[in-house]
A and B are shown apart, each in its own frame.
Chain A
């Protein structure tokens, strides 16, 4: 125990950990070029260890402690050393305060890592939404009419679908209207409209979406400018018997991808074909089970809120004179969204303006202005303007501010203690 105690309280451990931290940050940053931002962040900084590094396109079979290990050991080292050498003295108050600030920073970072969640809210002018959705994760949603304007929803998260595909097991649950066997899970896929004059190969299945679209597995993307669009081949079975094989794809369930696909067809093949593509892509895939009519969709994972946000007016201003044939969208000057919050629980009903550096903080969430499609060109093309907000839940968002403030105050106090002492001693001499 004494040996372990010595190690934990040693300054050598601090130096080693800081050195490893520098190496990890450098390796993790370089690896982003090959592995992509999200994977590199997850593999190097949000893990206990890293096995196998990627440096300038080469795989290096070396181990490295992960961000969690270095952070936790630094915290233990700092607290242990502080406890061991703790001396209550007014002269060292600044040092204690500085250490407390560093501890708060480390603990705060750990909490942020564990608890923070990021989603996106994309809405059109005049549209109200009570939910935001993940930019990376999808969910398989079964929906059925629940009377009035409500629907009953059963969702299976992407992780479970991937696990079921790997293990070849059938997903069964009392909440689910059917048993689901994931025959194939493609993390990234491509889609193509089976236009009548070109539908050549037999479709993947003869149900729903697959009658009109072909899907093909493609390599996983790691670029920040693109995203993986999953597609799943599902075998459904109700207690009454098998319901056949169905395709569920982010290409049909992700509003952003539907718009992107339709726009592409519009540019390439004209508005009439694009209209046909949209109609078939968004046509609900339905089946009967347990006396109810259900629809299935692979959509971005949603997070619901007990209040709604309505986009009243998105404003996309550009610098005067920058709209040219070379830059038809102009150079953006300002994006801002005027939104209405309606909360039936608190009877709140008010308007807020969200723009850069002025997010909306509401009910534990922060809404940042992220993207905007509301330019003059958008309106001229007959498209409804839209805005996308980044929705961040981070209960520990204040800790970096508080931590830095405490560290700063500690250093100033310690410096002043020394300065006052030095000046006093000079006067005495």
Chain B
């Protein structure tokens, strides 16, 4: 059978096919338009949740400490402008033709050892290319700040649009309490003229140390009802920790107890036990091995478990206890000689109602 097809008939076929396809193709073309709708509010992303806060506590800087008191000799022509949002003091300098420069004193979290990053942060702001660590180190000159040796560096900005070129002279001093930044910035001519006065100002800084902290670290566990064993000292908990105790040392052997509470099991028993094992240098285990390692803690709470692991003189006794929709992670970690005598008291503590 042979079908004779005329061009007209074929054109008709394509017309029909086009009529069918066109709406489909147009439906796929999304014309941008303003739309409105109701939606559930965005829930905040869960806060970082590590069942083990000990490492974080070590990594985190110490809690805020009292700042030292600063005094200085004010150079001629400088006006005190009071503290800023984060600066503890600021000064304004008016040069020729009303051109201005500012001086600020700002304490920041300790940045010792990160000088290259600081220099590059300034350079990025000024639109200057990044420097290698060695090159950045060459930018730093020693400068005296209140009897201590600080580091001084300079950065210039190019004028862009309505912004005039600027020069910034910064001195930084790393102290135990903070990294202190003294900055002279503003119109190039004013900054150049005031640079010697700025260096003298830095020398004139007098630092009166804050009184030593005698108060004991607040007992983070004070809101809990649990019975803390005799001899355990409450210390400031680290990040992700709800309580921390130092247990009596046994000679040079030391150990700590930490408690972290989370709304989930943060990766399950295997994940947490594996993490704990790594902390004392042990390798991964399988689910089957886990069953052998873990002992039930409370017949009334089937999810509560205890694990006791030792390696190379270090011992870790951990417990996971689900209570009222929350998971309590207890950990006694330290030198074997200090941990072993505390096991009984630790278990009693874990079992006590928090």
A379 within 8 Å of B by Cβ?
yes
User: B284 and A128: CB pair below 8 A?
Assistant: no
Cα distance A156–B163 in the bound complex, in angstroms: 32
User: B36 and A175: CB pair below 8 A?
Assistant: yes
User: B1 and A88: CB pair below 8 A?
Assistant: yes
Which residues A301-315 have CB closer than 8 A to chain B? 304, 313
Q: A88-B3, A124-B46, A214-B125 are in contact. Are A83 and B24 (CB under 8 A)?
A: no
Point out the residues of chain A lying under 8 angstroms from B35, CB to CB.
154-155, 175
Q: A84-B10, A202-B163 are in contact. Are A127 and B59 (CB under 8 A)?
A: no
In this complex, how many residues of chain A approach chain B with their Cβ under 8 Å: the count is 70
Cα distance A111–B110 in the bound complex, in angstroms: 58
Cα distance A56–B167 in the bound complex, in angstroms: 43
User: A271 and B39: CB pair below 8 A?
Assistant: no
Q: Which of B49-57, B143-151, B246-254, B301-309 contacts A (4 or more CB under 8 A)?
A: B49-57
Which of B7, B8, B50, B109 lies in contact with A272, CB distance below 8 A? Answer: B109
B151-164 CB mask vs A (1 if < 8 Å, else 0) is 00000010010010
A327 within 8 Å of B by Cβ?
no
Of the listed residues B11, B108, B124, the one surrounded by the most CB atoms of chain A closer than 10 A to its CB is B108
A353 within 8 Å of B by Cβ?
no
Q: B251 → chain A, closest Cβ, in Å?
A: 30
Cα distance A159–B17 in the bound complex, in angstroms: 32
Of the listed residues B34, B53, B56, B185, the one surrounded by the most CB atoms of chain A closer than 10 A to its CB is B34
Q: Which chain A residue shows the least CB distance to B34?
A: A173
A385 within 8 Å of B by Cβ?
yes
B101-124 CB mask vs A (1 if < 8 Å, else 0) is 000101011110010011001101
Overall SS of chain A's interface: mixed
User: A198 and B46: CB pair below 8 A?
Assistant: no
Cα distance A159–B30 in the bound complex, in angstroms: 11
A187-204 CB mask vs B (1 if < 8 Å, else 0) is 000001001111011100
Point out the residues of chain B lying under 8 angstroms from A64, CB to CB.
none
Cα distance A128–B40 in the bound complex, in angstroms: 11
Q: Which of A143-151, A238-246, A361-369 contacts B (4 or more CB under 8 A)?
A: A143-151
B38-76 CB mask vs A (1 if < 8 Å, else 0) is 111101011111111101100111000000000000000
Cα distance A152–B268 in the bound complex, in angstroms: 38
Q: Which of B83-91, B197-205, B214-222, B311-319 contacts A (4 or more CB under 8 A)?
A: B83-91
Which of B106, B111, B168, B278 lies in contact with A270, CB distance below 8 A? Answer: B111
A38 within 8 Å of B by Cβ?
no
Q: A127-B46, A195-B121 are in contact. Are A151 and B34 (CB under 8 A)?
A: no
User: B5 and A83: CB pair below 8 A?
Assistant: yes
User: B25 and A192: CB pair below 8 A?
Assistant: no
Point out the residues of chain B lying under 8 angstroms from A289, CB to CB.
none
User: A382 and B41: CB pair below 8 A?
Assistant: no
B352 within 8 Å of A by Cβ?
no
Point out the residues of chain A lying under 8 angstroms from B223, CB to CB.
none
Q: A381 → chain B, closest Cβ, in Å?
A: 8
Point out the residues of chain B lying under 8 angstroms from A192, CB to CB.
121, 124-125
Q: A88-B3, A271-B59 are in contact. Are A196 and B87 (CB under 8 A)?
A: yes
User: A155 and B50: CB pair below 8 A?
Assistant: no
Cα distance A160–B163 in the bound complex, in angstroms: 31
User: A149 and B40: CB pair below 8 A?
Assistant: yes
User: B61 and A271: CB pair below 8 A?
Assistant: yes
User: A382 and B48: CB pair below 8 A?
Assistant: yes
Size bracket, chain B contacts: 35 or more
Cα distance A380–B271 in the bound complex, in angstroms: 11
User: B14 and A76: CB pair below 8 A?
Assistant: yes
Cα distance A150–B36 in the bound complex, in angstroms: 13
User: B121 and A268: CB pair below 8 A?
Assistant: yes
Point out the residues of chain A lying under 8 angstroms from B86, CB to CB.
196-197
Point out the residues of chain B lying under 8 angstroms from A216, CB to CB.
127
Q: A271-B61, A313-B268 are in contact. Are A153 and B36 (CB under 8 A)?
A: yes
A424 within 8 Å of B by Cβ?
no
A428 within 8 Å of B by Cβ?
no
Overall SS of chain B's interface: mixed
Q: B61 → chain A, closest Cβ, in Å?
A: 6
Point out the residues of chain B lying under 8 angstroms from A422, CB to CB.
none
User: B41 and A149: CB pair below 8 A?
Assistant: yes
Q: A257 → chain B, closest Cβ, in Å?
A: 14
A50 within 8 Å of B by Cβ?
no
User: B32 and A157: CB pair below 8 A?
Assistant: yes
Point out the residues of chain A lying under 8 angstroms from B160, CB to CB.
201
User: B41 and A159: CB pair below 8 A?
Assistant: no
Which residues A274-332 have CB closer than 8 A to chain B? 304, 313, 320
User: B104 and A382: CB pair below 8 A?
Assistant: no
Point out the residues of chain B lying under 8 angstroms from A34, CB to CB.
none
B330 within 8 Å of A by Cβ?
no
A398 within 8 Å of B by Cβ?
no
A420 within 8 Å of B by Cβ?
no
User: A379 and B275: CB pair below 8 A?
Assistant: yes
Q: Which chain B residue shows the least CB distance to A107?
A: B21
Q: A153 → chain B, closest Cβ, in Å?
A: 5
A136 within 8 Å of B by Cβ?
no
B29 within 8 Å of A by Cβ?
yes
Q: Which chain A residue shows the least CB distance to B104?
A: A197
Q: A151-B38, A153-B39 are in contact. Are A380 and B275 (CB under 8 A)?
A: yes
Cα distance A304–B42 in the bound complex, in angstroms: 12
B166 within 8 Å of A by Cβ?
yes
A154-173 CB mask vs B (1 if < 8 Å, else 0) is 11111110010000000101
Q: A114 → chain B, closest Cβ, in Å?
A: 3
Cα distance A130–B34 in the bound complex, in angstroms: 21
Cα distance A77–B3 in the bound complex, in angstroms: 18
Q: A150-B39, A154-B34, A154-B36 are in contact. Are A200 and B284 (CB under 8 A)?
A: no
User: B114 and A270: CB pair below 8 A?
Assistant: yes
Which of A124, A126, A197 lies in contact with B87, CB distance below 8 A? Answer: A197
Q: A127-B46, A320-B284, A382-B48 are in contact. Are A159 and B32 (CB under 8 A)?
A: yes
Point out the residues of chain B lying under 8 angstroms from A146, CB to CB.
38
Cα distance A88–B4 in the bound complex, in angstroms: 11
Cα distance A273–B181 in the bound complex, in angstroms: 14
Point out the residues of chain A lying under 8 angstroms from B240, CB to CB.
382
Which of A84, A88, A125, A155 lies in contact with B34, CB distance below 8 A? Answer: A155
Q: Which chain B residue shows the least CB distance to A271?
A: B60
Which residues A67-109 have CB closer than 8 A to chain B? 76, 79-80, 83-84, 86-89
Closest 7 CB pairs of A and B: A114-B28, A5-B7, A196-B86, A272-B109, A159-B32, A197-B181, A175-B36
Sample of 14 A–B contacts (CB below 8 Å):
A5-B11, A79-B17, A124-B45, A131-B39, A151-B41, A155-B36, A157-B33, A197-B181, A269-B118, A270-B109, A271-B109, A313-B267, A382-B239, A384-B47
Q: B-side interface residues toward A, CB under 8 Å?
A: 1-3, 5, 7-8, 10-11, 13-14, 17, 24-25, 27-29, 32-41, 43, 45-53, 55-56, 59-61, 84-87, 104, 106, 108-111, 114, 117-118, 121-122, 124-127, 157, 160, 163, 166, 168, 170, 181, 183, 185, 239-240, 263-264, 266-268, 271, 274-275, 278, 284
